[in-house]
Amino acid sequence: MYFVYIMSNKSRRLYVGFTSELPQRVFQHKTKWFENSFTARYNFDMLVYFESHSDPNDGIQREKEIKGWRREKKLKLILSMNPDWADLSAAWREDERWEGLPDAKPLDVWRRRSRMK
């Protein structure tokens, strides 16, 4: 499966992305895995929308389509699935598989490891 997703932050800024590993990608956003990235700089830590696609090309096309929309249309899409603006990944923290994701280490651990190499 492939996923188009929208992350947000406290100020409700939006980031649209595409991935084949949604839980791992959300974890990376939440832990600022890529420390100098746009999503780390603006603290995108809430998954507010996602949809799945079986064909990666369909998912990529959909990501491009949504990225081209005005903010108002993106907000309507989010509210159609998530009217409470909840973090859709919040329940994943209860799932022990969340911590067992490949390479799902806190950023400070990753930094220490990379310095040791």
- Cβ atoms of 9 and 42 within 8 Å: the answer is yes
Residue 70: CATH number of its domain: 3.40.1440.10
- Cβ atoms of 53 and 62 within 8 Å: the answer is yes
Beta-carbon contacts of 101 under 8 Å, excluding residues fewer than 6 positions away, are 23, 24, 27
Both tokens assigned to 113:
């490891």
Number of residues assigned to the chain: 117
Residue of 86, 114, 101 whose CA lies nearest to 24:
101
pLDDT at 52: 94
Position 53 pLDDT exceeds 70: yes
Q: Higher pLDDT residue, 17 or 117? A: 17
**Mean pLDDT (whole number) for 12-32:** 91
Domain that holds residue 6: 2-116
pLDDT digits (tens, 9 = 90+) for 28-50: 888 888 777 888 788 888 999 99
pLDDT digits (tens, 9 = 90+) for 56-112: 999 999 999 999 999 999 999 999 999 999 999 887 765 555 454 544 443 333 333
CA-to-CA distance for 41 and 75, rounded, in angstroms?
Answer: 22
Question: Which residues are registered as beta bridge partners of 49?
Answer: 6
